[in-house]
Amino acid sequence: MSLTSTEADGAQIVTVNADRIDAAMAIQFKEDMRSETESGPARVILDLSLVQFIDSSGLGAIVAAMKQLGRDRRLDLAGPTPMVEKVFRLTRMDTIFTLYDSLNDAVSANKT
């Protein structure tokens, strides 16, 4: 699984360079998120704009990634494609995470 990490306006941006977060890669994703976010800014933005498909294993791995950050840091989601947005909505996980339409929206929300 390929994750890349940058920083903008004090937030860490982790981009998922894959078109699926499914059962076949959920464990890898969780481990890679752990190493990417071991230390760093309190706010992490997960850029999902390249992810066309997610299943419940992938959703669980994103929840796990948020738990790994602990209470003093937060995980926001940016750029969910329609199928990703639907899985978050149907499981009501859209009430747990803040989802921003785009990475730009997520980063500028940080400034206020």
Partner 1 sequence: MTETFACSFKATEQSARSCITAVMEGLRDIELPVDRAGDVQIALAEAVNNIVEHAYADRTDGEISIRCNLSPNILQISISDTGPPLPKGELPAGLPADISGPLETLPEGGFGWHLIRELTCRLQYERQADSNLLSLFFEMPGTQS
Q: Does residue 31 bind partner 1 (CB under 8 A)?
A: no
Residues in contact with partner 1, counted by CB under 8 A, come to a total of 26
Question: Which parts of 48-107 interact with partner 1 (CB under 8 A)?
Answer: 53, 55-57, 59-61, 63-64, 66-67, 71, 82-83, 86-87, 90-93, 95-96
Q: What is the rounded CA–CA span in Å between residue 85 and residue 69?
A: 22
* Torsion-angle region of 55 (φ positive above 0: left; ψ -120 to 50: alpha; else: beta): beta
Q: What is the rounded CA–CA span in Å between residue 46 and residue 100?
A: 10
Q: Say whether 76 sits in a helix, a strand or coil.
A: strand
Q: Residue 108 CB, nearest distance to partner 1 (Å)?
A: 26
Pairing of strands 11-16, 3-8: antiparallel
Q: Residue 16 CB, nearest distance to partner 1 (Å)?
A: 16
Q: Does residue 17 bind partner 1 (CB under 8 A)?
A: no
Residue among 11, 16, 22, 89 nearest 60 (CA): 22
Residues at the contact surface with partner 1, assessed by CB under 8 A: 20, 22-24, 53, 55-57, 59-61, 63-64, 66-67, 71, 82-83, 86-87, 90-93, 95-96
